[in-house]
A and B are shown apart, each in its own frame.
Chain A
Amino acid sequence: MNRAIYRLLRLNHRVRLWLSRQLTPSGLWLLAGLFVFGLIGLDIKRSISYQIFVFLLAILVVSIVLSRLGRYRFSAVRRLPRFGTVGTPLQYRVVIDNRSRRPQQGVSLVESFENALPNFRTFQNIVRQSRQAKNSRSEWFRLLALRKWTFAPAVPLPSLAAQGETEVIGEIIPLRRGLLRFQRLTLACPDPLGLVNRCISIDRPQSVLILPQRYELPALRLPGSRRNQADSLALAASVGDSEEFRALREYRPGDSPRKIHWKSWAKLGKPVIREEQEEYSVRHALILDTFQAEDYSEVMEEAIAIAASLAYTVQTQESLLDMVFVNDQAHCFTVGRGLGQSEYLLELLASVVPCQDKGFETLLPLVRSRLSLLSGCICIFLTWNRDRQTLIEQLQAAGIPVLVLIIAPEKGLATPPDHSCLQDADSSLHVLTVNNIQAGLLAL
């Protein structure tokens, strides 16, 4: 049954797509009129709507015939940027070579993408979710629409010179993070009556990585004091308090090559290590919760968007930021003080998928191992439960101030968060609702 409904939906999607390509907006209105007048005109004794019906049919047929008569020869090359961002218009250049002898006017550019419609498995998941939540039909379509990769209306092109190349700007709005795959670009040339398009499709498979959406953040004063970063900053380009010479000693396997004192090596003929005063620096952890049963949820997308905003915005010149999350396994990436780049974190976040096979507790050992290094911690949770509370309690017990952000679906959290687990004054817990994230963030 589900498969049949899915096929019907897919058919509906394809027919709508096909119609929107093959007909211009006026052509679509004319087609709608054709149906209406056909319906009213069924009883030709009581009404004369059939006359208009036949006229509309005739004009459409003439348009279709005319649209097939013209000769069009195009080739096109798309020049894509490396990244795009969800919700931000992505502009790219397209060079169109019009190889016909006539300049072409009124042509528009339409892009096709892979995975424009969710596959059957995804569809089944949506159905399961909507059954659980007892969603209405419109909700179901909304869920389908949420999985849309991009909003890409036709772009009207300037006049395309005869037998020459014209550079135009294409524009789309990516709606989902991840790898957006362009499939083919279509040039739609309207017929002289302006109702039917002749579509010339050119296969140009390309892809662009779409980074998560980012929110505007207030000036966040992250809590916490500086901690000793024993030997973990060997690769950092700029260091804070260090470089204070203490002593020289012999090389021991495992010492960083950056600490080799070359002059002494030259003198003594064996590697000598320069010991420095202990390094102290501010180090924050950003713990992103990826544990959810569904393939896709708005809550997780928002969590990733907030994580991306934090990773991008938080001033990391003088401090370090550890991004901790579990995908297929537990990951920890550090940026700040010249170590790594926040763009790199955004790329990572663009590819984060929900962790469905492990429990939240898999995150705990990783966090525990870094407790001694951390000055503060930002936790972005998808829900609130016992496990998450345990993590907060452990962090608090280690004297690490925390900023907890819980993303709640529109209808609110199943269990209200327990503020009693926060012990120090610097720590705080906020619940951000899916449709009101920006306002919630600005109120932090």
Chain B
Amino acid sequence: MTPTGKRLGRLGLGKLRLGKLGAIDSASLCSLAIALWGYQTSLFFVALPIILILEARHVIQQRWQISLSDLKEAGKLCAALLAILLVIIVTVKKSVFIYTLLQWLPVAGLPLLIAQTYGLGVQTLLTEQFQKGNYISQASHRSSLRQHSPFNLHHLYFGVCIAASSATDSDHFVFYIGATTLTGLLLWPLRPARSEPALWLLLFCLSAGLGFAGHRQLAHFQQQLEAQVIAMIGNMASGAVNPDGNSTRMGSVGRLKLSNSIAFRVKADQALPDTFPVLLQEATYNQYKLSTWTAENSLFSDVPPGSDDGEWILGPATEQDVTLTISTDLERGDGILTLPRGTSRLQQLPVEEMQRNQFGAVQVNAKGSAAYQVQFSRGTGSLDARPTSADLQVPNVDKAAVESVFDQLSLTGKSEREIVSLIAAYFQDFQYSLDLIKPDPAVSAVSDFLLNTQTGHCEYFASATALLLREAGIPARYAVGYSAHEFSSLEGQYIVRSRDAHAWTLFYLDGRWQTLDTTPPDWTAQEKAMTSPLQVISDFFAFLGFQASYRIRQLGELGLKEVLMIVIPLFCYLLWRSVQVFQGQQTNSTANTNQLKQQKPNGLDSEFYQIEKTLSEQGLERLRTESFLQWGDRIQAALSPSQQSTFKPALILHYRYRFDPQGLTATERQQLQSLSQQWLVEHSKKNAEEQNH
């Protein structure tokens, strides 16, 4: 015994006491784990019936002989339950559902739990299947090597319950205590024979303590790491649109690398021929400084929801309104919606709140994908804030270049309408290019574009146009968004790729903001030319993905009631079918064990084993390599003459009882019993005498 063991022994926690702690059977352990799960997930109303089902095994004596097909049927029911839970959870949660699904796993595993608890022969079936799966030879089935794996569905269910109860964020100390205690109860009967109970307990407590300290440290470390990573990443979130500011790529060197991935899809609900190409705006900005456009004093205010579910009113509707359906991921662009100008109403947008700033950027806070309807009027203005002095500012660095072009176009004295047309016409001689030309460090990007290069991408055109308009006294803003112009015959709708991101100018004339896109119209063709011929394949897969998410969304649009109405009859049908194919033979477990006792095969209930046990306790044990006869010869000297005289006949009868196919007659069986008892009585007498001496 180790020093610790000795100490504990003195304290009364010795080997005997701890050793007598019986092992809890695996089903009761499951009940405890289910209770922990119910407590942790607050699903008492589910946990309690499961515990009752499990514990009813003490009352219900009936057991069923389970065949492989029955077990498979139980497995199928589990899968069906899991699928049903998945559908319900996806419907209700709509976004991060995996942890909720994990929490409900014990419900899905119920059929297998019942099979293990009330079925006979499940263990054997599982062992056989496991061996078949590992291609272990058939020969091993016959051999004494055949090992019953400790694999038991109760153990698996126990693990599932612990995993399910840990898939919550309620960090109670009770959970850790409960989970470690249950693990301890599970491991206790599996401890090796060599291990002292007290030592085992001590080591287990040490591990639990280490685990506690460790997970506290881990949580702390994770928090620190997270803070550092957030600081490092900053606002590097890709694809996000910032409604307060937009840094352009003007003045950079290299080549714009544009992604061909599909960002969203647009479908016109009415077949109006001139709707497309359409510019879909995300945000507008009014202040330009050092290649960056910002929205000065941007203030978001709530948009009132409409009368219908998922309806939002952005402005007054007109009779000429056109409706588009935009299918997109709501998380794309950090929740900034991509809308055509003049949007009056949004429908089927499942968000809880919506905000809009005075520059027309609309933001929602939602996850998952959606297909919302947009009602907008072509040609009418939007409800963007009226122009301010900021909409007329030209930065000093670009002033000279803008004035020089202004003079060159001799815009002085022209009407505002003429000025707009002249500026638009002026840019038609410019070149569109995705190459970012090395700028002259002394000259700003827009000045360089206007005076020297006359080549650039949409950001140059939009910025230069805005500054020229401002110079002419027309309020102008810079808008970013997408151009929807590519019709996919595969999908039957317009697809908008990331590379279709675009920038254009808004100018204020006749009391409303109007769009002016001076980028040469061949920009779409140029960008398309860069597409790989294999793009078709990735488009096809994108389409499949879109269809799948569309179907899931359609399911999501069903309410919980509708889902349950579909799912419950389906489950009832599956249950009914399983019951129909159930082949289990009803057996009464208690009667069965009695019967087994009666028919104990091969004379394993021979009383001679008592003699062997008594002798081995005295240190005269039989070696594994010895037969009873050899053993008898070896220990003969240690037996008294009277013992010797009964030993041999008893042994012969034992051999016959054990191996003779004819077995023993009732008298002979009686004889074996009496001989053995006689021997044992003599032996105890002899022992008593020796002690007296």
A interface vs B, CB < 8 Å?
Answer: 24-26, 29, 33, 36-37, 40-41, 43-59, 61-62, 66, 86-89, 93, 104-106, 141-142, 145-146, 151, 153, 158, 167-169, 171-173, 175, 190-195
Partner of B139, one of A45, A50, A57, A151: A151
Q: Contact at B163–A193, with CB atoms within 8 Å?
A: no
| Residues 172-194 (chain B) with a chain A CB within 8 angstroms | 175-176, 179-180, 183, 187, 190-194
Distance in Å: Cβ of A368 to nearest Cβ of chain B:
40
A57 and B211 contacting across the interface, CB-CB below 8 Å: yes
A191 contact set on B, CB distance < 8 A: 192
State how many angstroms separate the Cβ of B635 from the closest Cβ of chain A. 17
Q: Is the CB of A62 within 8 A of B206?
A: yes
Is A66 a contact partner of B147 (Cβ separation < 8 A)? no
B99 adjacent to A46 (CB under 8 Å): yes
**Residue on B nearest A143 in the bound complex, by CB:** B135
Q: How close is B194's CB to chain A, nearest CB, in angstroms?
A: 4
Asked if B203 is at the interface of the complex by the 8 Å CB criterion, the answer is yes
Is A192 within 8 A of B200, CB to CB? Answer: yes
- Report the tally of A-B residue pairs with Cβ distances under 8 A: 164
Interchain nearest-CB distance for B548 vs A (Å): 24
Task: Pick the residue among B135, B150, B163, B192 that contacts A106 (CB under 8 A).
Answer: B192
Of A33, A40, A56, A66, which one neighbours B203 at CB under 8 angstroms?
A66
With A36-B163, A55-B208, A105-B192 given, name 16 new contacts (CB 8 A).
A49-B166, A50-B215, A50-B219, A54-B218, A56-B211, A58-B207, A58-B208, A59-B204, A59-B208, A106-B193, A167-B624, A168-B624, A171-B145, A192-B200, A193-B187, A194-B187
B166:A47 contact, CB within 8 angstroms: yes
Task: Name the interface size band of chain B.
Answer: 35 or more
Look across to chain B and name the residue whose beta carbon is closest to the beta carbon of A152: B145
Smallest CB gap from A175: residue in B: B137
Assembled-state Cα–Cα distance A191/B204 (Å) = 12
Taking the closest CB of chain A, its distance from the CB of B631, in whole angstroms, is 14
Tell me, in angstroms, the Cα distance from A145 to B136 when the chains sit together. Answer: 8
Q: Which residues of A are found within 8 Å of B162, using beta-carbon distances?
A: 52
Which of A59, A141, A194 has a CB less than 8 Å from the CB of B195? A194
A409-B572 Cα distance, complex, nearest whole Å: 45
Pair B176/A51 contact, Cβ less than 8 Å: yes
- Contacting residues, chain A, for B211 (C-beta < 8 A): 51, 54-59
Report the bound CA distance from A32 to B351 in whole Å: 41
Give the residue of A47, A61, A66, A193 whose beta carbon is less than 8 angstroms from that of B210: A61
Whole-angstrom distance between the Cβ of A77 and the nearest chain B Cβ: 14
A145, B625: Cβ atoms under 8 Å? no
Q: Is the CB of B175 within 8 A of A51?
A: yes
A26 touching B190 in the complex, CB below 8 Å, given contacts A89-B145, A167-B625, A192-B199: yes
Residues on B with beta carbons closer than 8 Å to the beta carbon of A44 = 218-219, 222
Contact indicator A25/B149 (Cβ below 8 Å): yes
Contact: B196 with A192, CB < 8 Å?
Answer: yes
Q: Write the B613-624 contact mask toward A (1 if CB under 8 angstroms, else 0).
A: 000000000011
Asked whether, in the complex, the Cβ of B143 is within 8 Å of the Cβ of A89, the reply is: yes
Chain B nearest CB: distance from A233 CB in Å?
39
- B308, CB-defined interface residue at 8 Å: no
B320 interfacial by beta-carbon distance below 8 Å: no
Enumerate chain B residues within 8 angstroms of A169, measured Cβ to Cβ. Answer: 624-625
Look across to chain A and name the residue whose beta carbon is closest to the beta carbon of B167. A47
Residues of A within 8 A of B318 (CB): none
A86 to B139, CA, bound (A): 9
A35 → chain B, closest Cβ, in Å?
11
B194→A104 contact, CB < 8 A: yes
Closest to B623 in A: A167
11 A-B contacts, Cβ less than 8 Å apart? A40-B102, A44-B219, A48-B170, A51-B176, A51-B179, A93-B625, A106-B192, A106-B195, A175-B137, A192-B196, A194-B190
Most chain A CB inside 10 Å of its own CB: which residue of B137, B168, B218, B624: B137
- A48 near B171 with CB under 8 A, answer yes
Closest-CB distance, A9 to chain B (whole angstroms): 14
- Minimal beta-carbon separation of A17 from chain B (angstroms): 13
